Structure 1
Amino acid sequence: MTVKLSKSALQQLPANVAVPGYDQSGLKAGIIHFGIGNFHRAHQAVYLDDLFNAGSDHEWAIVGAGVLASDETMRQKLKEQDWLTTVVEQDSGHRTARITASMIDYLKPGETENTITRLADPEIRIVSLTITEGGYFIDPASGVFNPRHPAIVADAANIGDPKTVFGLILAGLIRRRSEGTAPYTVMSCDNIPGNGHVTSDAISGLAALVDADLARWVKDNVAFPNSMVDRITPATSDRERGMLASDFGVEDNWPVFCEPFKQWVLEDHFPTGRPALEKVGVTFVQDVAPYELMKIRILNGGHATIAYPAALMDIHFVHEAMEEPLIRGFLGKLEREEIIPVLPPVPGVTFEEYYDLIDRRFSNPKIGDTIQRLCQDGSNRQPKFILPTTADRLKAGQSITGLSLVSALWCRFCEGATDSGKPTNYLDANAERLKVEAVKAKSDPKAFLAMSDIFGDVGTSPVFEESFSRILKTLWDKGTRETLKLYLADKL
């Protein structure tokens, strides 16, 4: 027998499901969060749930906010269960389920005035975001905010009725400014180098299109702390819903399954206050950049490394890819020989130990993370997770064979079929263009590198062009498996 998740049913849940040790109705909103997806609910929401369970900071509950029409689906699913979420942590020797109650409301997408009014509430002192790497209106190659994007131009022309996340945040700041309320801190929790700086550029850039004085006020008064966030959190499917019901007796519309490991490193810049997250494991630092760079290049770069060879070899799960010696060997060799050597030191961290941790996390058979998820949004992820390392090594005159192989594998994947001929279906804002250029690249590799908005200066490097072209030809001639063998034998 299963129990349908709701606030009234909490005491009916099985004993092996942990329930909140606080009364959700006693919480007060202090944070509005855009992007109520699985990662947020397994990360920021869990840290706050830990804090509330410790009897602290009950004035910092989360109010979710939707922007896209698709956000309404999540809102309705969570509303049906009183904004509660079941979080299941698991690895090969560990599985627990807990109910989190740190979110107390979710603003309806499209109700702009209501959202702006809530943003203007003096009790809201932090606005946070997990809107994915592709949601920041930045040029992928340069990382610079694009003020000419049609959605940004439209918001600037009608800032009183904005349609984007950044338009809403700016409209809330404008309202607070006019009412004499201190601005909230804007806290990005996305995997972007310098995510606080990127968010500042987006909001300041939009403000500059509205009014130069407003842009100066934003830069002078609004805090944008950088952060590094980490937890592997796959998408939810009927598989996870079924496992939760059969193993824990809970019916949850949208549970979150994740690994036990989580990490959050955050710059301590919150002028109007913040929850005492250091009590529950968040690391506050003056400069998050070294931690962030380590994670983005070793972990996120590692995900990008294994994604495409695994997809081309028809491997479904991430842990299955790590069970394939050629892929695990490719990852280890690339990390140790090309990625780690160009990283600056991180206080208190040994890179080899950090990589060993990543290896174990990728190999976790209980997570059910899919290769398909890792293959999504390559046109945004490659310029952030792979190509900057390539650029650093090119600048230093160092070998880029493994990194060129990563880019060539991505190109080969974008052509549209695996080595066995199965279609490579993937989500990417540039999917159609990627396929067109990848097909051209089979005979003319330069065609793929000519996408300057993705490859930037790396694509014009004669050294990279030669390496990429040679390896892409090898992939087409010999296939993924044989190409990986050549790389591991130092014969590529």
Structure 2
Amino acid sequence: MSVKLSLSTLDALPGEVSRPAYARADLSAGILHFGVGNFHRAHQAMYLDRLFNAGQSRDWAIVGAGVFAGEQKGRAVLQEQDWLTTLVEQEADASEARVIGSMVEFVEPADSAAIIARMAEPDIRIVSLTITEGGYFLDSDDNFDPTHPDIAADAATPEQPKTVFGMILAGLRARRDKGLAPFTVMCCDNIPHNGAVTRRTLTGLARLSDAAFAQWVEENVAFPNGMVDRITPGTGDRERRILAEDFGVEDGWPVFCEGFVQWVLEDDFPLGRPAFEEVGVQFVPDVAPFELMKLRILNGGHATIAYPGGLMDIHFVHEAMENDLIRAFLRKLEEEEIIPMVPPVPDTDLHEYFDLIETRFSNPKIGDTIRRLCLDGSNRQPKFIVPTLRDALKQGGSIEGLALESALWCRYCAGTTDSGAEIAPNDPAWDRLVPWALEAKERPEAWLEMKGIYGELGADPRFAEAFARWLRHLWAEGTEATLRAYLGSG
């Protein structure tokens, strides 16, 4: 019989389930976080829980926030269990469950007035974000896009913002008007130079309606860069069932993740910060080498196995890694094309880093799905694959595997697997991607004409030739035969 999670039932949980060593009354808020999803709870919220358990930084608890009304569902689940989450860390030979209690509030989603007012309170010293790679309103060159309809709407009515950036600006303005120092804005998303990108989007939006205020933000608000890493799949009935049957806990929204976790941060927090270094966060002067390594080797690796796995009707990531062709494709592409385009990283052997990633991808307990890795390629490909491709072309390096990866993504977006099974929409731009992918079957260059993805690379004859060759091979021979051809190409 499982125990329903709440503050009142903590003592009734099975003994093997770890629980907070602190009371809710021990905590006070310090961070407002946008995007209370699985990754946030497996990462930032987990690090804070470790700190609180050690008796430190208990004035840095989390206040949740969200800009979409749809986030009300998750909020309601967490509210019913007093903002507690069960985190299940899984390795191939062991699993551990712990209850984390580092969240103390959750402002009503999409209630911009309430969110702005909460940011304007003096206890909030950090505002952090996990809003996915596609949430930063960037163009194909990763610059702020002032023409986006949501940005234009916030610029026209800054006093009634709908975007996270409009709300943050309103919160900063309210603090300035009250004579309070600005909070630090800390991005926790998987994008290169994430602090700098957040700064550009925030000041870019401000500049559209108030240039003087934009300058004030530029000069007074800190945006530390950071690299985050932990494989964290979505939660479904499978995870809820495992938690109830194996650990005796009933949790409406548990989080399952791997045991590995990493966070590398620049130390730029004018109003202070939690003592994250005490629980494994690495503070460095420049996070860029670490984030580039992760984005290209790990996230690029995810993209590498995603689309052949999807086309071959493989469900789980570890099952893709059990396929000899996909595993060999990943290693060959990483060793010959991706790793050579990654500059040196302090105290890190890049090949050993990839070996660890290969092991992490193979973890059978995570239950991460190929479909999740295939999700949102229109935002992920320009960040995880195209930059490596651009560098390889500039340096005269090999691009055969990168071109094949691009062709696999195109073939996937045609909407059917090799067996003829329909692929359900899996990208915000799916309705546009499918016609382009189908046109590319006869005219491959049609796919490369998406400048929002490839920029000027689509016109590069070397890339265009390799892409067209591999795409035709995929349509004619299928994924397995194409991978064999690539692996046997020498």
Q: TM-score, structure 2 length as denominator?
A: 0.99
Deviation at 1:110, TM superposition (A): 2.6
Give the letter aligned to residue 35 of structure 1: G
Equivalent residue number for residue 117 of structure 2:
117
Gaps of 5+ in 2: none
Equivalent residue number for residue 133 of structure 1:
133
Give the letter aligned to residue 408 of structure 2: L
Give the letter aligned to residue 88 of structure 1: V
Equivalent residue number for residue 195 of structure 2:
196
Give the letter aligned to residue 138 of structure 1: L
Q: Secondary structure at the match of 1:17?
A: coil
Q: Secondary structure at the match of 2:327?
A: helix
CA distance in 1, matches of 2:219, 2:3: 51
Q: Secondary structure at the match of 1:131?
A: coil
CA distance in 1, matches of 2:277, 2:423: 43
Deviation at 1:91, TM superposition (A): 1.3
CA distance in 2, matches of 1:248, 1:397: 53
CA shift digits 1:135-159 (9 cap, x unpaired): 11111x2001101111111111111
Deviation at 1:113, TM superposition (A): 1.3
CA distance in 2, matches of 1:92, 1:26: 36
CA distance in 2, matches of 1:396, 1:179: 53
Equivalent residue number for residue 402 of structure 1:
401
Deviation at 1:426, TM superposition (A): 3.5
Deviation at 1:161, TM superposition (A): 1.3
Give the letter aligned to residue 161 of structure 2: P
CA distance in 2, matches of 1:111, 1:469: 48
Equivalent residue number for residue 149 of structure 2:
150
Equivalent residue number for residue 23 of structure 1:
23
Q: Secondary structure at the match of 2:456?
A: helix
Equivalent residue number for residue 326 of structure 1:
325
Deviation at 1:60, TM superposition (A): 0.1
Deviation at 1:111, TM superposition (A): 1.8
CA distance in 2, matches of 1:385, 1:426: 21
Give the letter aligned to residue 473 of structure 2: T
Mapping 1:176-255, distance limit 5 Å:
176-255=175-254
Is this contact kept in 2: 1:372–1:426, CA < 8 A? Answer: no
Bigger mean CA offset, 409-418 vs 422-431: 422-431
CA shift digits 1:66-91 (9 cap, x unpaired): 11111101100100000000000111
Q: Secondary structure at the match of 2:86?
A: strand
Equivalent residue number for residue 487 of structure 2:
488
Q: Secondary structure at the match of 1:224?
A: coil
Mapping 1:279-358, distance limit 5 Å:
279-358=278-357
Q: Secondary structure at the match of 1:48?
A: helix
Q: Secondary structure at the match of 1:74?
A: helix
CA distance in 1, matches of 2:110, 2:308: 41
Deviation at 1:484, TM superposition (A): 0.3
CA shift digits 1:402-427 (9 cap, x unpaired): 00000000000000100000011242
Give the letter aligned to residue 489 of structure 2: D
CA distance in 2, matches of 1:449, 1:63: 43
CA distance in 1, matches of 2:126, 2:295: 24
CA distance in 2, matches of 1:228, 1:48: 17
Give the letter aligned to residue 487 of structure 1: Y
Deviation at 1:26, TM superposition (A): 2.0
Equivalent residue number for residue 91 of structure 2:
91
CA distance in 1, matches of 2:288, 2:28: 32
Q: Which runs of 4+ in 1 moved over 4 A?
A: none
> Are residue 32 (structure 1) and residue 32 (structure 2) matched?
yes
CA distance in 1, matches of 2:399, 2:111: 49
Q: Secondary structure at the match of 2:192?
A: coil
Equivalent residue number for residue 67 of structure 1:
67
Bigger mean CA offset, 149-158 vs 298-307: 149-158
> Are residue 269 (structure 1) and residue 298 (structure 2) matched?
no
CA distance in 1, matches of 2:459, 2:36: 39
Give the letter aligned to residue 190 of structure 2: N
Equivalent residue number for residue 44 of structure 1:
44
Q: Secondary structure at the match of 1:470?
A: helix
Equivalent residue number for residue 432 of structure 2:
433
Q: Secondary structure at the match of 1:21?
A: coil
Is this contact kept in 2: 1:31–1:61, CA < 8 A? Answer: yes
Q: Structure 1 vs Structure 2: percent identity of aligned residues?
A: 63
Q: Secondary structure at the match of 1:407?
A: helix
CA distance in 1, matches of 2:313, 2:114: 47
CA distance in 2, matches of 1:280, 1:232: 19
CA distance in 2, matches of 1:119, 1:459: 44
CA distance in 2, matches of 1:14, 1:426: 41
CA distance in 1, matches of 2:452, 2:305: 24
Is this contact kept in 2: 1:32–1:126, CA < 8 A? Answer: yes
Is this contact kept in 2: 1:208–1:215, CA < 8 A? Answer: yes
Is this contact kept in 2: 1:145–1:202, CA < 8 A? Answer: yes
CA distance in 2, matches of 1:214, 1:454: 32
Q: Secondary structure at the match of 1:177?
A: helix
Deviation at 1:133, TM superposition (A): 0.4
CA distance in 2, matches of 1:2, 1:376: 33
Q: Secondary structure at the match of 1:159?
A: coil
Give the letter aligned to residue 231 of structure 2: I
CA shift digits 1:251-291 (9 cap, x unpaired): 00000000000000000000111000000000001100000
Give the letter aligned to residue 167 of structure 2: L
Is this contact kept in 2: 1:414–1:434, CA < 8 A? Answer: yes
CA distance in 2, matches of 1:319, 1:480: 18
Q: Secondary structure at the match of 1:115?
A: helix
Give the letter aligned to residue 52 of structure 2: F
CA distance in 1, matches of 2:423, 2:56: 48
Equivalent residue number for residue 12 of structure 1:
12
Q: TM-score, structure 1 length as denominator?
A: 0.99
CA distance in 1, matches of 2:25, 2:147: 44
> Are residue 58 (structure 1) and residue 27 (structure 2) matched?
no
Bigger mean CA offset, 418-427 vs 348-357: 418-427
CA shift digits 1:199-247 (9 cap, x unpaired): 0011000110121101110100000111000000000000000000000
Give the aligned length. Answer: 490
Give the letter aligned to residue 342 of structure 2: L
CA distance in 1, matches of 2:227, 2:444: 35
CA distance in 1, matches of 2:326, 2:122: 51
CA distance in 2, matches of 1:127, 1:419: 45
Mapping 1:455-474, distance limit 5 Å:
455-474=454-473
Give the letter aligned to residue 452 of structure 1: K
Is this contact kept in 2: 1:441–1:447, CA < 8 A? Answer: yes
Gaps of 5+ in 1: none
Give the letter aligned to residue 470 of structure 1: R
Give the letter aligned to residue 218 of structure 1: V
CA distance in 1, matches of 2:110, 2:351: 47
CA distance in 2, matches of 1:25, 1:303: 41
Q: Secondary structure at the match of 1:210?
A: coil
CA shift digits 1:297-334 (9 cap, x unpaired): 00000000000000000100000000000000000000
Give the letter aligned to residue 119 of structure 1: M
Is this contact kept in 2: 1:305–1:331, CA < 8 A? Answer: yes
